[in-house]
Amino acid sequence: MKERLQIWVPKLVLGPSFLLILFFVYGFILYTGYLSVSDSRMLPSYGFVGLENYEKLWNLRHWTGSLKNLAIFGILYIVICSVLGLMLAILLDQKIRAEGVLRPIYLYPMALSFIVTGTAWKWFLDPGIGLEQTMHAWGWASFEFDWIKSRTHAIYTVVIAAVWQSSGFVMAMFLAGLRGVDPDIIRAAEIDGASRARIYRRIIIPMMRPVFLSAFVVLAHLAIKSYDLVVALTGGGPGKATELPATFMYSYTFSRNLMGIGAASAIIMLIMIFSIIVPYLYSELRADRQS
């Protein structure tokens, strides 16, 4: 009897977590999926309307605009974070005596809430009070930096703040990668007379390919999920200049009472993320099993 019980204990322990996830994650995804083909407006409603919500969604300038913003934001965010992160990691990997002090400084923004980051940068970038005003006070009267108030440039201020927050993290990923490179390979190249720059360009950076991939996956999914930072920094404005899919979904579902369209936009976000994450996780898990 006790033996029989022992067999079931592990499953009974894992069971509740599994059921929670099954219900609150996958069940909820199905529910939202159904809402996206329903006539829900202010409250969920179950009349089937086919793909009507998706058609409406793609005809909304608000939605296509937020996708365009996501493309600008996402590409710049990923590229700048990766380049900056790799550069910082290489700089730090030169036997820097103060590395123990510098590394935590580069990384600490990752511990902050995006709301805090947004508050700080909103003010910093505000032409009436922050950087511009300070430059004026220092005597540079013609200095101008008003991107945050500009319909065409506000999205770049979101990039600035997001890069500030995440680039240190990418630096840490690359630094771990650099420290994992076999020293013998480098020594051999040095003996052959290769310069330091050449060693990095031809040997070390190509070896960082898996880190580039991980950084891309992490940053891309963070970009698609970005919500808090935009809310705190620009509130989606000026106008709709910094609306992203995440803010779109929230405002259509909860402020404009067009829940069907909001659900459809959430499904599109999920598809975007899964098309990046699922192949990645699949290959990671498979590699894991083989090793």
Partner 1 sequence: MSNTSTEALNRSSQRLSHGNRLTPARILLYVLLVLFAIYYLLPLYVMLVNSFKPLEEIRGGDMLALPQAWTLAPWSSAWSTAQIGVQATGLKPYFMNSIAMVIPAVLLSTILGALNGYVLTKWRFRGDGVVFGLLLLSCFIPFQIVLIPMARMLGILGLAGTTSGLVLVHLVYGLGFTTLFFRNYYAAFPTELVRAAQIDGAGFFRIFSRILLPSSGPIIVVSVIWQFTNIWNDFLFGASFADVDSVPMTVALNNLVSSSTGVKEYNVHFAGAVLAALPTLVVYVVSGRYFVRGLMAGAVKG
> What residues numbered 187-246 form the site for partner 1, per CB under 8 A?
187, 190, 196, 214-215, 218, 221, 224-225, 227-228, 231-232, 235, 245-246
- Member of 1, 17, 59, 142 binding partner 1 (CB under 8 A): 17
In 3D space, the residue among 267, 265, 269, 268 whose CA is nearest the CA of residue 251 turns out to be 265
Name the minimum Å distance from CB 279 to partner 1: 12
> Closer CB to partner 1, residue 46 or residue 152?
46
> Closer CB to partner 1, residue 1 or residue 13?
13
- CA 116, chain centre distance (Å): 17
> Closer CB to partner 1, residue 155 or residue 166?
166
State whether residue 127 is helix, strand or coil.
coil
Q: At what angle do helices 28-35 and 259-290 cross, to 10 degrees?
A: 140
> Rounded to the nearest 5°, which phi and psi values hold at 153?
-115, -10
Q: Return the residues of window 149-178 that contact partner 1 according to CB under 8 A.
A: 164, 168-169, 172-173, 175-178
Q: Return the residues of window 36-75 that contact partner 1 according to CB under 8 A.
A: 44
> Closer CB to partner 1, residue 58 or residue 140?
140
Q: Return the residues of window 65-124 that contact partner 1 according to CB under 8 A.
A: 88, 91-96, 98-99, 102, 104-117, 119-124
Does 179 help bind partner 1 (rule: CB under 8 A)?
yes
Range 59-87 burial, b when 16+ CB lie within 10 A, else e: eeebbebbbebbeebbebbbebbbebbbe
Cα–Cα–Cα angle for 242, 243, 247, nearest 5°? Answer: 135
Give 47's contacts (C-beta < 8 A, 6+ positions apart). Answer: 38, 39
> Closer CB to partner 1, residue 21 or residue 83?
21
Q: Return the residues of window 20-39 that contact partner 1 according to CB under 8 A.
A: 20-22, 24-29, 31-32, 35
Name the minimum Å distance from CB 246 to partner 1: 6
Name the minimum Å distance from CB 274 to partner 1: 8
Question: Alpha helices, DSSP H only, in the chain?
Answer: 2-21, 28-35, 52-58, 61-92, 99-107, 114-125, 131-137, 154-179, 183-191, 196-199, 205-207, 209-225, 228-233, 245-250, 259-290
Site string for partner 1, 130-149 (x = CB under 8 A): xx-xx-xxx-----------
